[in-house]
Copies of this chain bind each other. A is one copy, B any other.
Amino acid sequence: MARILVVNGNTTEAITGRIAEASRAAAPEGTEIEAVTAPYGLPLIVTRSDWLLSGPPILAALAERRGTYDAAVIAVFGDPALEAAKQLLDVPVLGISEAAFHAASMLGRRFGIVSFTAALRPMFEDCLDHHGLRARCAGFRMGPPDASYPAVLGAAEQERLLALVRASIEQDGAEAVILAGGPLAGLAPVLQPLVPVPLVDGTAAAVRLASALAGLPRPVRARAPRVLTGYGPAVTALYAG
C-alpha cells in the first residue's frame, strides 16, 4: 500500500483541503493520501519570486515527514522546490505541472494548455522549457491578463473555459488539454463529457504517476553530510545526511 504525501506550497489551508479531496478522488485503490500545508511563505503563489520563496517551506514540509511516505507530490503549478526535493529525498517526487505535461504527452501527440489568465503564461512557459517538453505543446489558450481568481467557478466562467478548450483543440490541434492553475482544479471531470480529447488535471495526474513510480526499484544513495545554516531542524537534518 503506497502512501503519498501531497504538499500544498500555498499557506492557505482551504486550498489544502481542496487538493486533498482531488488527490483522494484520483488515487489508486489502496493508496493513502496525506495532504499538508507549507509552514510559511505565500497565501497564493503566482509569481516567479514566489516560486523561489515557497521552495524552502515546501522542502521543510517534505523533510518533517521523511520516512512516512513512499512518494510525494508538490501541488503548485510551476513545481517549486522540485529539483531540490528529487535530489534530497530517496522517494519519487513529482510536481503537478511536470505530471500534467508527461501525462498529456502520453495521452496525445500535442497538448494544449488552458488557464484562467494570461498573467501565468510566462511562468508556465518557463516550466515547459524546464521539463523539455515544449515540442509537445500545441499552444496556450488563456483568459485576459487581468482576470481575477474566483474560489469557485460559476457557469459563465466554465463556459468561457470550455470555449478556450475548444479553441485549443480545433485551432491549435491539441490532442489532450491541460487545465492549469488552482481555480481550475476539479474542472476536468466536469468538462470531460463535453470534449473529444482527454482533459488533464495536474493534481490527479501527479498522484497517479507518483503512485506508479513508487513501485519501481530505486537506488540507495549515500550522501556526504553537509552543514546548512539558517533553516529549521528538519531541512538541516536532511542536509546532515
Residues of A within 8 A of B (CB): 1, 11, 26, 28-30, 39-43, 47-49, 51-53, 55-57, 59, 81, 83-88, 92, 94, 98-99, 102-103, 105-110, 118, 121-122, 125-126, 129-133, 135-136, 145, 170-171, 173, 175, 188-189, 192-193, 195-200, 204-205, 208-209, 211-213, 215-222, 226-231, 235
A135-B132, A199-B217 in contact; A41/B83 too (CB < 8 A)?
Answer: no
Known: A52-B56, A118-B171, A196-B219. 15 other contacts (CB 8 A): A1-B29, A41-B228, A42-B228, A48-B87, A49-B85, A52-B59, A53-B59, A56-B56, A105-B132, A109-B126, A145-B170, A193-B220, A198-B216, A209-B209, A209-B212
* Cβ-defined partner of A30 (8 Å) among B30, B53, B227: B30
Is the CB–CB distance between B88 and A170 below 8 Å? no
Q: How far is the CA of A187 from the CA of B151 in the complex (A)?
A: 43
Question: Can you name 29 A-B residue pairings with CB atoms under 8 Å?
Answer: A28-B211, A40-B229, A40-B231, A41-B228, A42-B228, A51-B84, A53-B55, A53-B228, A53-B231, A55-B55, A56-B56, A83-B109, A92-B106, A94-B106, A106-B213, A118-B170, A122-B173, A122-B175, A125-B173, A129-B130, A132-B132, A132-B135, A132-B136, A196-B219, A198-B218, A199-B217, A204-B216, A208-B215, A211-B212
Q: Which residues of B contact A51 (CB under 8 A)?
A: 83-84
